[in-house]
Structure 1
Amino acid sequence: MKEEMYELKEEITKSRLFNNDLAPTTINERTWNTYNYTALWIGMAHCIPTYMLAGGLIALGMNWLQALFTITLGNLIVLIPILLNSHPGTKYGIPFPVLARASFGTLGANIPAIMRAVVACGWFGINTYIGGSAFDVLFSALIPGWKTLGGNFMIMGMTVPSAISFMIFWGIEMFIIYRGIEMVKKFENWAGPLVIFLALVLMIWLIVKAKGFGPLLSEPSKFKSFSEFIKVFFPSLTGMIGFWATLSLNIPDFTRFAKSQKQQIKGQILGLPTTMAVFSGMGIIITSASEIIYGKPIWDPVQIISKFSNPLAILIGFFGVIVASLSVNIAANTVSPAYDFSNLLPKYISFKSGGLITGIIGILIMPWRLLADPSGYIYNWLGTYSGVLGPIAGIMICDYWICRRTKLNLRDLYTEEGEYFYSKGFNIKAIIALIAGVLFALIGKIVPMLSVLSDYAWFVGLFVSGILYFLLMYNPSIQFYKTEISRHSNE
């Protein structure tokens, strides 16, 4: 097997579709086990946006049980496409943009890759801003006159102290990503469990200080009927699915390093839905207790920690916030677009330079505006991009599992003359299916009478594109479903 992989790499090295970062992983590179994948998901799911998700749903009228149910159900649903797209990563050792070449074409794969990368850049900016805010509050507590630095001068809508804090956090992220994927694994191994532990300590401390769980847990739903609840539930569920719709596409970027299918599947099942439910629940309890202590519910953990009087407690608290934001941003929002941008020009853009491009775009997007209100965050941001990424997932899942029956020609994924070249590198049928899926999923955003479609944006996009792709590609006369099994596939 090692000799075959070596021969394959030797053969495709000269192709302009190849670089070492996009190459199939070798047996020696497959070092990730069940714990690594569980820790990866703990590290990604325990971020501040997860903590604040329930707050956004409660602000929309749900009680805490309804909010927690919506979050948990959404993550159980999105786990399905995550596991389906994980399989080819482990079997063939390829990242997401290379897998997309099978359905979209060797050059057409850049379309879903860049669409995924742009979303990741937005998320990168959001979490960098949150991490930078933690630094900003910490510096304010430790450095006299920090908040008045620069006076009224603004940089891209931020004060000078906020901008400096933002860039410090940004620099730490770039340092870690420049150390490579192995550094990411080592960081996630300890970061995930640590943040869960610190959040648990914070929750217990607030419950003790408040002498109870607070009024939030007894607050009734604002919906007077089931029909009123359903109108908010489904758009919110779509938003929850959209929260990890990005990873449902690029999960091969991580599973390509798995020792076996069993280990990556088990690790992801243990890591994702449980962590999202537990961490969101902890956010609800902490916020509820904060209402007793501070007179109002505080959903932002940075604000809660900033009210501590003990300097050591402040340092430990902000360390947890910073590690949480670093953990999710590096794993979920930098690794994937780094590969995606590298796929654009493999001979000129490496994994490291792709990460730098992600960081720069993450600044230019100015994503702090997305967090201005919960409805904008859940409906506009999460809901819209779930309607864009759902169709891509539908096409890729249909192509790999139904059309090709999990059989890929590994060599042709890296060459311009093979079966995935289609028409000058583009599979027009996949592009048509993608456009149709996005149109159906998001048309309700501009045509009010069709708003029900946008309420189910991810579902609509996934099924419309997946079914249409199957119908367009189905052609018994050319026996499309009898794709040759590559001798280089890794079972």
Structure 2
Amino acid sequence: MTRIQTTDTVLGRTRDAKFVTTKRRVTTASSSSSSSSTGSKGFTRDDIVESFESSKASSALHNDDLSPVLKQNRTFSTFDTASLWVGLVVCVPAWQLVSSLMGIGNLSAFLALLLVFVANLFVVWPIVLQANAGVKYGIPFVVHARSSFGVKGANVAGLSRGFIASAWFGIQTVVGANCLRSLAVDFGVASGVSSPYLGGICYIIFWLLQAYVVWNDVESIKTIEKLAAPILLFLTLLLFIFTCVSSGGVVQSVLSAFATNGGGSNMSSNSIAGSFSWKTFFQAATASASFWATMICNVSDFSRFSKSRESFEKASFAMPLAMAVFAFASIVVTSSAAHILNTSSNLITDPMVVTSLLSTHFNWGKIASVLAAIGILTATLSTNIAANILAPANAIQNLAPSKLSFRTSAILSMILGTLCLPWKLTSDANSYIFVWLTGYGAFLAPILGIMLCDYFLIRNQYLVLEDLYSADKNSSYYFTNGVNYKAMLAFAVGVLANLPGFLHAVGLWPSSMLPQCLALAYDCAWFVGVLVGGCMHFALEKFLP
């Protein structure tokens, strides 16, 4: 019998309880000698690991935060997971996504909304697939990646995903800082402080607030998500109703909003059709999929706490529904505000700016500013901590589990997010869609393709759990010196497939030298990356020794 510690909180803090493992292994002894491991007899797709033998675990690959979450310690219900998705959806970047699509593709509001909903509905499929290993084995993303990339090679996948999340953390922190700066100006506490210094001070304050939450009470994240979802929906509804009523009524506001294109001009009878093209469709689908690319990769960091596979799958459909509702509100509020403020030729997509201008126009004063600040700060806090701190913290911790705690790793990832200069990544619609969203989506997509292919097609959903934590050269996932070079090659090929298009997007590859096929590939960068990475990995595993 082996005493182990298990994790039972949303971000992996250790529970002070002891569990005794049974003699039944999660996998058969014979399977541990094969790189294409299988599970124990009778271990079905709906089973959840109930025991874990820690005797093989290497201190270089295992600590309490990375340990499997056993069935008896799962805490996430369907409502908890659905609340998590709603909390992740309701944020300023999601608010701006539809308007950015309208701007870069001259799409009508109707088509932009439809494309966002369809793309996000499609995204549920890879989310559910990638979440399977987390639900079944209770393992986080960085541990799951060891089965395909190797126990050491997984650091490449983890750090790649973690770097993107850190950059997102910085972007969201800028959003929160801008909100605090608006409050400081409205309340007159920033008199005598120049704008750059004020922005920097607000950034530091919001950064420290998030650090405090992570350092002191990680379990409160689940509580924040539960409370944030209804608060955010209420404030969004409040802003929606007010702008609609102020601009002529709800029906009139909706009709007016969906009779505008990306530039804000009326399209009359052509408002529904807009200027649709398949190129724009794939650009919009890629941007929407890339928006969730980080969460798709590391969704097992959350699914490992779900009580059942069915519970997680049901809750995941809250994401496209919430995204559609939030995008709809974004379109109507932005359009109505433009009508009220007479700025139809230049739609304002930042909700804090919209609220600030409306409060001045209607003499709302401090009440409106405070309500807007509560909504945006709550949205940013709930999204940032759950989505953009957990993954990079786990990735950094995976480098030296015996030396780095989750807390220390989280702080390091937050520092990295600031070093990315996040205020420059979303300066305009083209930078946001083609450089940032599409670019990082193209980079992460091959990792997802490789992991899905490996888990479902190569290993048939069965893993040798103990070997994921073993540095033994004969273990299933040690490969060559701890690295699966086939997966590394597949990752490189998947990234290279989209590299010319990315270089063109940032101005380093002239249009005259970019073949049409490569330009088209970048328009579908996320999908191309998943397919190329997955297919290459499958071919290398099947046909190379």
TM-score (norm 1): 0.91
Q: More deviation in 441-450 or 421-430?
A: 441-450
Matched, 1:392 2:447: yes
Please list, as runs of the form range in 1=range in 2, the aligned pairs for 1:313-392 lying within 5 A after superposition.
313-392=368-447
**Pick aligned residue for 1:448 from 499, 505, 514:** 514
Change (3 A) 1:205 1:221: closer
Please list, as runs of the form range in 1=range in 2, the aligned pairs for 1:134-173 lying within 5 A after superposition.
134-144=179-189, 146=190, 148-149=192-193, 151=194, 159-173=196-210
C-alpha displacement of 1:228: 6.4
Alignment check: 8 A CA contact 1:9 1:23 kept: no
C-alpha displacement of 1:74: 1.7
Measured in 1, the distance between the counterparts of 2:261 and 2:497 equals 35
Measured in 1, the distance between the counterparts of 2:201 and 2:420 equals 17
Structure 1 residue runs of 4 or more that deviate by more than 6 Å after TM superposition = 221-228
Alignment check: 8 A CA contact 1:88 1:94 kept: yes
In the alignment of these two chains, the number of paired residues is 468
Alignment check: 8 A CA contact 1:443 1:453 kept: no
Matched, 1:407 2:473: no
C-alpha displacement of 1:428: 0.3
Q: Which amino acid in the other structure matches residue 421 of structure 1? A: Y
1:155 maps to: none
Measured in 1, the distance between the counterparts of 2:543 and 2:425 equals 45
Measured in 1, the distance between the counterparts of 2:58 and 2:285 equals 46
SS of 1:19's partner is coil
1:301 maps to: 351
1:329-352 Cα offsets, whole Å, 9 max, x none, are 111111111111111111112211
SS of 1:11's partner is coil
Q: Which amino acid in the other structure matches residue 170 of structure 1? A: W
Please list, as runs of the form range in 1=range in 2, the aligned pairs for 1:223-302 lying within 5 A after superposition.
229-269=277-317, 271-296=318-343, 297-302=347-352
Q: Which amino acid in the other structure matches residue 331 of structure 2? A: I
**Pick aligned residue for 1:433 from 475, 490, 513:** 490
Measured in 2, the distance between the counterparts of 1:306 and 1:44 equals 24
Measured in 1, the distance between the counterparts of 2:217 and 2:115 equals 36
Matched, 1:219 2:263: no
- Give the alignment's Cα RMSD to 1 decimal: 2.1
1:488 maps to: none
1:422 maps to: 479
1:351-370 Cα offsets, whole Å, 9 max, x none, are 11111011101111111112
C-alpha displacement of 1:238: 0.7
2:34 maps to: none
TM-score (norm 2): 0.82
1:420-469 Cα offsets, whole Å, 9 max, x none, are 00000000000000001111123333452121111111111111111111
C-alpha displacement of 1:310: 3.0
Matched, 1:18 2:62: yes
1:465 maps to: 533
Change (3 A) 1:439 1:448: same
C-alpha displacement of 1:306: 1.8
Identity of aligned residues (%): 34
* Structure 2, unpaired ranges of 5+: 1-18, 23-48, 503-508
C-alpha displacement of 1:311: 1.8
SS of 1:22's partner is coil
Alignment check: 8 A CA contact 2:98 2:327 kept: yes
Please list, as runs of the form range in 1=range in 2, the aligned pairs for 1:79-158 lying within 5 A after superposition.
79-144=124-189, 146=190, 148-149=192-193, 151=194
Alignment check: 8 A CA contact 2:58 2:469 kept: no
Change (3 A) 1:161 1:409: same
Change (3 A) 1:293 1:342: same
C-alpha displacement of 1:45: 0.6
2:228 maps to: 191
Q: Which amino acid in the other structure matches residue 62 of structure 1? A: L
C-alpha displacement of 1:193: 1.9
Alignment check: 8 A CA contact 1:90 1:255 kept: yes
Higher fraction of helix: 1
Alignment check: 8 A CA contact 2:130 2:452 kept: yes
C-alpha displacement of 1:71: 1.1
Measured in 2, the distance between the counterparts of 1:103 and 1:272 equals 28
Alignment check: 8 A CA contact 1:442 1:457 kept: no
Alignment check: 8 A CA contact 1:394 1:463 kept: yes
* Structure 1, unpaired ranges of 5+: 152-157, 479-491
Alignment check: 8 A CA contact 1:12 1:18 kept: no
